[in-house]
Structure 1
Amino acid sequence: MLRRVALLTNFIPPYRLPLYKAIADRVPDFQVFISTPMEANRSWSPNWDGLNVTVQKNLTLQRSWKHPHGFSENLYVHIPYDTLWSLRQYRPDVVISGEMGMRTAQALLYRKLNPNSRMILWATVSEYSELGRGKLREKLRQVLVPQADALLVNGQSGARYVRQFGVSDPSIFFAPYTTNIDPFLAVPLSRGPLDAYRLLYVGQLVERKGIEPFLSTLERWAKAHPDRTLEFWLVGEGPLRSRLEQQVWPSNLRLRFLGNVEYGKLPEVYAQGGIFAFPTLADEWGLVTNEAMAAGLPVLGSSYSQSVEELVVEGETGWQFRPDEPEEMYSALERSLSMSVAQLEQMRTKARDRIQYLTPDFVADNILKAIESVC
């Protein structure tokens, strides 16, 4: 009989809390082990109210990573070195391990030392997010991934990625990124003629998010349409902000930097946007797509985001493009800004309808199916 489930992860972002609580509602004894209360480059305050959480002994390394799509990024690599000891103290029936490194290696060792236990690997990856990760990491995954009793993936791109390691479909379960979308669903769908075309971006202002090539496309569009004014609001902070603020843009392209916004106040910001822009160069999911669609914003998004690939239907809930293809990105922007106010109104309704199923309860049920399958 299932008694205890341990979740091993880096930290608990605010959008994950509703899902973890939904899992706790379904499991008699659920314990979350985190490597750090919060990563240094995050603006959120640690909050795991209502969960049983243990902060592990952990070594954090920083390294720079160059992605084939042209951006560089500083990464935090967490090595929670007391994982095996913590698991032996807690003695879970099922271990759900995030990432595919030393944390999972220790979880698998616990699995071997306790033959009645099971290990589920939560692979929050996509084909694009994992490009250029290096031969050593690939070889480690070739060893670790096939040993998992089941795998959780975000979507079809994640499933395609783990299949290369010999994983069969019956052991793959889908657990897309989700959050409590009720506050976003409460945002009024109606927009005024000016608000309907206002572009909104929410996220870190870093190279990976593709803001600079997207702004080059906006600049080109603004020069080609001098009779129209285009507003682009950006929520978030990052090293690109100061450079973008100092740059001179066409007079009919107006940028507004809102800085970091408390997570609970984001629905108020989405309510003022008309079209959500998500030009990322690589994202394992992109929860902002969920939030935007729930708030009624069609998404002008990069197909290198798994959420865009899964949720955005061309001309119905948004428009897709590859951000490293300038003409393709410009064409998608042109299509979005050529829509009538009435057409955008219809798309807002379709965007909201498309996302309503993707709740913490829905994903928690899928995770419970994975747990039951290995037990």
Structure 2
Amino acid sequence: RARADVVVSAELGARSMLAALYCGRSGWFGLRQRRCQLVIAVSTSPWIEASRSGWLRKKQRSLLLARADRVTYHGPECKQWLLELGVPEHRLAPFHYSADPTKIYKGDLQSQSADRVRVLTVGQLIDRKGVREGLANMIDVARQSPGLLIEWTLIGGGPLLAELKEVATPDNLKIDWRDNCDAEQIRDAYRDHEIMFFPTRGDEWGLVVDEALHSGLVVIGNERAQAVAALIRNEFNGWIVEIDRADSLAHAISAYAKLDAAQRMKMRQQARESVVDRTPENSADQITSLIDQMLAEPQSGDSSHR
């Protein structure tokens, strides 16, 4: 009823299949005349797709993507996956995730005590988020550095909460289990900490990384989070670590702990600067600019030849 010129559909399931069917006039994969143009917004990563095996799924996705006039990606790994699936680069366009402004701490950065590091983790306590491995690694770090006090706050609930709370920890590792919190409580937690630890075993993105960087936290995160791989630069705004190697986290924590107050503050300011352009407004501009560009182009009958 809206008589759209462009339809934007998220992901590669039934919704996008029906959108592709609507945008054409004569059949499913033999479309020639186009009712309107189709944008498919894709958000995924190789780590996610590795768990979605099957030649039929891959074939369905390839055929569906071939019907799209444009395909958007939210990160570099997503783009590479789309290229490998056969989407021509000229049909690809970025459409970035952006953090919820209500969860971001925007005030002045507060100096932290030099004799400790205050670490924050925000996310569900489930296997995929890697908190079990993260806890084991953090315990190893504390044991290796008995003179360093680590204060680690975990925000989020889940089936692993009871199990993890029973794990014995060294005296110099203080853990604050806060369960689920609202946006204001999360914002206050960003204000009160200096490091975000994101141990996930696989995330299509990881918006808490954006939230932490905007809030002035240095991020130590597993490379399997696309946000970490795309946004973190070692020793500039954080460290990329391997969650299956305890020495990887130990190196990052120790490197930060050795910084003096001015160096820590500089790194936290750099964290904020590194995401200054990742805002909801800029993300909206990306998709509206893409639509404007598509509407300005001369149209041919079959999108597969554009």
Instruction: Show the counterpart of 1:225.
Output: 145
The equivalent residue for 2:274 is 354
The structure-2 alpha-carbon separation of the partners of 1:277 and 1:290, relative to structure 1 and needing over 3 Å to count, comes to same
Deviation string for 1:204-242 (max 9, x for gaps)?
A: 111111111111111111111222221110011111111
- Counterpart position of 2:19: 107
Give the alignment partner of residue 208 of structure 1, picking from 103, 116, 128.
128
* Larger strand percent: 1
- Judge conservation of contact 2:121–2:196 (CA < 8 Å) in 1: yes
C-alpha distance in 1, partners of 2:3/2:72?
22
2:202, 2:88 → 1: CA distance? 25
TM-fit CA distance, 1:123:
0.5
- Residues 264 and 371 (structure 1), Cα distance of their counterparts in 2 relative to 1, 3 Å cut: farther
Instruction: Say whether the 8 Å CA contact 1:203–1:235 is kept in structure 2.
Output: yes
Shift in CA distance, 325/373, structure 1 to aligned 2, threshold 3 Å:
farther
1:314 to 234, 237, 241: 234
What secondary structure, in the 3-state scheme, does the structure 2 residue paired with 1:92 have? coil
2:161 corresponds in structure 1 to 241
**Number of the residue aligned with 2:75:** 155
Q: What's the offset of the Cα at 1:183?
A: 6.4
Q: For residue 41 of structure 2, give the secondary structure of its aligned residue in structure 1.
A: strand
1:269 aligned residue: 189
2:284 to 354, 364, 369: 364
Instruction: Kindly indicate whether the alpha-carbon contact (under 8 Å) linking 1:213 and 1:323 is maintained by their aligned counterparts in 2.
Output: yes
The C-alpha deviation readout for 1:73-129, integer Å capped at 9, x for no partner, is xxxxxxxxxxxxxxxx44322211112111111111111138231111110112222
2:210 to 290, 302, 313: 290
Partners of 1:297 and 1:105 lie apart in 2 by 41
| Among 144, 155, 175, the residue aligned to 2:95 | 175
Unaligned stretches of 5+ residues in structure 2? 26-32, 296-306
Separation (CA, whole Å) in 1 of partners of 2:247 and 2:58: 33
2:9: which partner in 1?
A: 97
Match of 1:84 in 2: none
Deviation at residue 182 of structure 1 after TM alignment:
7.4
The higher relative CO (CA closer than 8 Å, separation ≥ 6) is in 2
| TM-score, length basis structure 1 | 0.72
Q: For residue 19 of structure 1, what is the aligned residue in structure 2?
A: none
Tell me which structure has the larger Cα radius of gyration: 2
Residue aligning to 1:260: 180
| More deviation, 356-365/333-342 | 333-342
Q: Which runs of 4+ in 1 moved over 4 A?
A: none
Match of 2:50 among 131, 138, 145: 131
Q: Matched residue of 2:46: which SS?
A: coil
SS in 2 for 1:352: helix
Q: Aligned partners of 1:284, 1:242: CA distance in 2, in Å?
A: 27
Task: Write the letter of the residue equivalent to 2:50.
Answer: L
Equivalence for 1:27: none
Aligned-partner Cα distance in 2 for 1:309–1:99: 22
Q: CA deviation at 1:265?
A: 3.6
Look up the equivalent residue of 1:175 and give its one-letter code: F
| Residue pairs, 1:304-343, within 5 angstroms | 304-343=224-263
For 2:92 and 2:235, how far apart are their aligned partners in 1?
31
Q: Report the alpha carbon displacement of residue 338 of structure 1 after superposing the two structures with TM.
A: 3.1
Which piece of structure 1 moves more, 172-181 or 352-361? 172-181
Specify the SS of the correspondent of 2:146: coil
Equivalents in 2 of 1:187, 1:195: separation in Å?
Answer: 24
Match of 1:120, SS state, is strand
| Count of aligned pairs between the two proteins | 287
Taking a change above 3 Å as real, the CA distance of residues 324 and 224 of structure 1, as seen in their structure-2 partners, is closer
1:134 is displaced (CA, Å) by 1.1
Q: Is the 8 A contact 2:48 2:204 kept in 1?
A: yes
The letter for the 2-side match of 1:284 is: E
| One-letter amino acid of the structure 2 residue matched with residue 108 of structure 1 | A
Give the % identical residues: 30
CA shift, 1:195, in A, is 9.1
Aligned equivalents of 2:208, 2:100: Cα separation in 1? 12
The offset of 1:246, in angstroms, is 1.4
Per-residue displacement from partner, 1:30-64 (whole Å, max 9, x unpaired)? xxxxxxxxxxxxxxxxxxxxxxxxxxxxxxxxxxx
1:188 and 1:236 map into 2 onto residues whose CA distance is: 26
Report the secondary structure of 1:198's partner residue. strand
Which residue is equivalent to 1:146? 66
Q: Which amino acid aligns with 1:241?
A: L
- TM-score, L = length of structure 2: 0.88
Inter-CA distance 147–327: structure 2 relative to 1 (3 Å threshold): farther
